[in-house]
Chains A and B, each alone.
Chain A
Amino acid sequence: MKLDSMYQDVILDHYKNPHGRGLRDGDAEVHHVNPTCGDEITLRVKYDGTTIEDVSYEGQGCSISQASASVLNELLVGKDLAEARKIQETFLELMQSKGKIEPDDAMEEVLEDAVAFAGVSKYPARVKCALLSWMAWKDATAQALGGADAERKTA
C-alpha cells in the first residue's frame, strides 16, 4: 500500500515515542507555525561553542511533523554546527525532491532515521510538516549564534 511509503515504521515509532520532547533551557527560542494546517512548534537550542548541546521542543501537529522533530533531536544533539548544517541541507534536498531521490548509502549515512521521510516528499501538502522543526532549528540557531542567516523573525 502506498501509505506505507509515507508512514514508515520508523516514523510511527518516533511519533509514538518522541526523543527529547519537552522544553529545556536554551540560548534561543523560536515558535514556528504551518499556517495552512495549524501545526505548531516551539523549539529551543542550546550551544556549547559550536557544539549542539540540546534541542528541546514542544508542539502540536501530525505524526509527520512530530516524528520529524524527534528525529531532528536524535540526529543533531551532540553534533558540531557544520555537520548539523550538512544534515539539515541534505534533509531539505530530500524533502524537496518530489519523490525523485532514492536515498543512496551516502545519504543514509548522513540522515540515518531521517531517510524514512523520503516517501513523504511525494506528498506536497505534507512536505511542510516534515520541514517545520528543521526550519525552526535553523532559525533558532541563527538567533542563538547571531548569524547573518537569520531568515525570519519568530512568529
Chain B
Amino acid sequence: MTQLPGLLDTEAIRKDFPVLDRVVHDGKKLVYLDNAATSQKPRQVLDALSEYYERYNANVHRGVHVLAEEATALYEGARDKVAAFVNAPSRDEVIFTKNASESLNLVANMLGWADEPYRVDHETEIVITEMEHHSNIVPWQLLAQRTGAKLKWFGLTDDGRLDLSNIDEIITEKTKIVSFVLVSNILGTVNPVETIIRRAQEVGALVCIDASQAAPHMPLDVQALQADFVAFTGHKMCGPTGIGVLWGRQELLEDLPPFLGGGEMIETVSMHSSTYAPAPHKFEAGTPPIAQAVGLGAAIDYLQSIGMDKILAHEHALTEYAVRRLAEVPDLRIIGPTTAEDRGAAISFTLGDIHPHDVGQVLDEQGIAVRVGHHCARPVCLRYGIPATTRASFYLYSSPAEIDALVDGLEHVRNFFG
C-alpha cells in the first residue's frame, strides 16, 4: 500500500463510516470520491441524530417542560460548538440556516433592505468572481437586478486562479460588497483572501466568504480571515443535510435588517408592527433545523477529535499523489491548478473528448463515485471552453488506494470508448 507522509490512519477512520463498507453493482467495493458534493456521515453523527429524536425531541426556545429545555440546550450547545470551530469572538455571531445557499442569500437580502451605510442600490457595485458556485452568483444577480446595482467580477487565469491584476478597477469606492469563494468547488483553487480583503477594506466594502469547501477540510478562523461574513454548510463536513451556517460580525448583525419574518425572530408583535430579537435569533425565523444542528455539533466534535490541521495535511498528501497519478493518464487534462500548491482536494478533469457523463457512468460500473457536469459553476466551464468536467474529491477517509482505483478506472473508460 502506498505510504505518504501526513496521511491519517484511514483504515481506522473508515470504521466510523458505515456506508463506506457498501458494495455496489454486484460486488464492487464502493470508492466514494464525491466528497465535494456531500460527505459521508460517521456513526457518531448518526447516533447523535437518533439519540436526539429518541430522547430529547421538542421545539426550542418555547416550552418550560424538561424536553423543551433540553432540546434548547442541545441546539444552543451546537451553536457554541460552531462558534468555537470557526474561532468566532461571540456565539451570537453564528446564525443557523438550512445550507450555504441560504446563508449567501441571507447576506444579499440583508444588504438589499439595509439602510445606509450598508445599502446596495443603483449607485453601488457588487463584486464576485468567475469561479463562484451558482449559489454565490445568482443571489447577487438577483440583488443587482432588484436594486440597479452593478455586478462585477474577477476573471480567471489559464491555470485556474483568480486574475487579480485589475483588482483596483474591480473593487472601487463604489463597491459595497465583495463575495468570493475560499476554495473553489470545481477548480480546487484556494484563493488569496488577504489580497482581496486588503483592497476591500481600503474602499470600505464588506467581504463575504463562501467557505463551503474550506470548513470541512482545513482550520477556519473567522478572526484571522478578517471577513465580515462567512458561509458554509453542514453536510459537506460530516453533518446532516438541512443545516448551514452564516457567521457575521456582531455589529453588522445588530445593524442589518432581518430577511425572513416569523416566530422566534421577534421581540414583540402587534397588528401594526413588530420589534425583533437580537442576533442571531433575528435571522432564524420559524422552528429551526434542531436535530440537524445537533448533528452538526456532533460532526464538529468528530472532526476536532481528529484535528483539522491533520485533515488538511492528509488531503494535501492525497492531492499531491492524485495530481501525480492523474498526470500519467493519457489525454487527461486537469481543469484548475495542476499542482497541490494552494489547492484543495477537489480535482476536475477532462479525458480526451469522452464526455464526463460517459466517464462517470463507466466509473460507476466499477463502484467509483465521482461527480460529472458543470458542478453548479457553469461560468468556469464556459471560461475554459468545456461542456463539463469529471470531478474526484477526497476527504479524511479517502486513501491512495482509492486514487489508484480511479486511475485504473479511467484506463478502463479509455478502452471502452477507444
Residues of A participating in the B interface, judged by any CB pair closer than 8 Å: 1-3, 6-7, 12, 36-40, 60-66, 123, 126, 129
Determine whether B62 belongs to the interface, using a CB cutoff of 8 Å to chain A. Answer: no
Q: Mark B356-398, 1 if CB is under 8 A from A, else 0.
A: 1110011001000000111000100100000110000000000
- Most chain B CB within 10 A, of A3, A12, A62, A129, is at A62
On whether the beta carbons of A40 and B373 are closer than 8 Å, the reply is no
Q: Mark B207-228, 1 if CB is under 8 A from A, else 0.
A: 0000000000000000000000
Known contacts A6-B361, A38-B373, A126-B361: A63-B417 contact under CB 8 Å: yes
Determine whether B25 belongs to the interface, using a CB cutoff of 8 Å to chain A. Answer: yes
Q: Which of B362, B387, B416, B417 contacts A61 (CB 8 A)?
A: B387
Determine whether B355 belongs to the interface, using a CB cutoff of 8 Å to chain A. Answer: yes
| CB within 8 Å: A-B pair count | 49
- Most chain B CB within 10 A, of A1, A3, A39, is at A3
Interface size of B in residues (CB-CB distance below 8 Å): 18
Known contacts A3-B361, A62-B355, A63-B358: A37-B416 contact under CB 8 Å: no
Q: Give the docked Cα–Cα distance between A127 and B169 (Å).
A: 46
- Which single residue of chain A is at the shortest CB-CB distance from B362? A3
Q: Which of A7, A39, A64, A129 contacts B416 (CB 8 A)?
A: A7
Known contacts A37-B373, A38-B378, A126-B357: A60-B365 contact under CB 8 Å: no
Majority secondary structure of chain A interface residues (helix, strand, loop or mixed): mixed
CB distance from B180 to the nearest CB of A (A): 23
Q: Give the docked Cα–Cα distance between A64 and B362 (Å).
A: 13
Q: Mark B385-418, 1 if CB is under 8 A from A, else 0.
A: 0011000000000000000000000000000110
Residues of B within 8 A of A39 (CB): 357, 387
On whether the beta carbons of B374 and A38 are closer than 8 Å, the reply is yes
CB distance from B109 to the nearest CB of A (A): 24
Residues of B within 8 A of A65 (CB): 357
On whether the beta carbons of A37 and B357 are closer than 8 Å, the reply is yes
Residues of A within 8 A of B362 (CB): 3
CB distance from A121 to the nearest CB of B (A): 14
On whether the beta carbons of A63 and B355 are closer than 8 Å, the reply is yes
- Most chain A CB within 10 A, of B356, B361, B365, B374, is at B361
